[in-house]
Structure 1
Amino acid sequence: MKIEIRDGQPVVDATDLAGLLGLTPAEVQAKMRAGEITSRFETGEGKDAGRIRLSFFHGGKTVRLTCSTDGTVLKTMRTDVGPRTR
C-alpha cells in the first residue's frame, strides 16, 4: 500500500482504509463525512525525521500507518479495544 501525497497532505484510498477498519469503501466515505472516522497526521522529528504517521479512529478501532515521506507504508498497526464508553 502506498499513500498519495498531494500538496503536502496525505490521501488514503477508501478501499485500503476500508480493509483495515473492516468496513466497505462506501461506509468509510460516509463515516468520514459524518465525523464517525477521525484522523491525525503527524510529521516525524529527530530520529523519526523523514517519516509521517497517519492514525485513523473509528469506534474502538485504531489504525496507524507509518510511512516514508514519499507515501510508502513502512508499518501498519491495528488495535481494537472495543467500543468507547463515556
Structure 2
Amino acid sequence: MASTPRAVRFGNGSATVDAATIAEGLGMSASDVQPLMRSGELTSRCEVGQDQDAGLTRLTFFLRSRRFRIVVDSSGRILRRSTIDFGERPLPPSLRA
C-alpha cells in the first residue's frame, strides 16, 4: 500500500492543513481557502484523539452546505477522508458535531 503524502503539519500546539487539501475536499479553488477562512465563511474544528484514538487528529472544515473531514496520524498523513454535500439545503446542525 502506498503511503499518503503529509497534508497536515503540527507545530506550536496547532495543525496546519495544506490549502489544496481543503479545496479538494470542499470542491473549490485553493486560492479561495484563505479569504473564506478570514471572512469566517469557511470554519474548522480540530479534535485530538484520546484512549483508543490516541495519536490521531480529526480535522473538520465547514463551508455552506458542505462538510469535509480528515483523520490524520501523528505524522500528518491522511488516514481517512470524507465529504458531505447537501446541495441547496443547509448543513444540518448534527453534522457540525
Q: Could you say what the CA RMSD is over the residues aligned between the two structures, in angstroms?
A: 1.4
Q: Which runs of 4+ in 1 moved over 2 A?
A: none
The CA deviation string for residues 11-56 of structure 1, in whole angstroms up to 9 with x for no partner, is 0111221111111112111101100000000000111111110000
Specify the alignment match of 2:17 in structure 1. Answer: 12
Greater share of residues in strand: 1
Residue 75 of structure 1 pairs with residue 80 of structure 2? yes
Specify the alignment match of 1:48 in structure 2. Answer: 53
Structure 2 spans left out of the alignment, 5+ residues: 92-97
CA distance in 2, matches of 1:59, 1:66: 21
Identical counterparts, % of pairs: 35
Structure 1 spans left out of the alignment, 5+ residues: none
State TM-score, norm by structure 2. Answer: 0.80
CA distance in 2, matches of 1:66, 1:9: 15
Residue identity matched to 1:11: T
Count matched residues: 85
Matches for 1:17-36 after TM superposition, within 5 Å? 17-36=22-41
Specify the alignment match of 2:95 in structure 1. Answer: none
Match of 1:84 among 68, 71, 90: 90
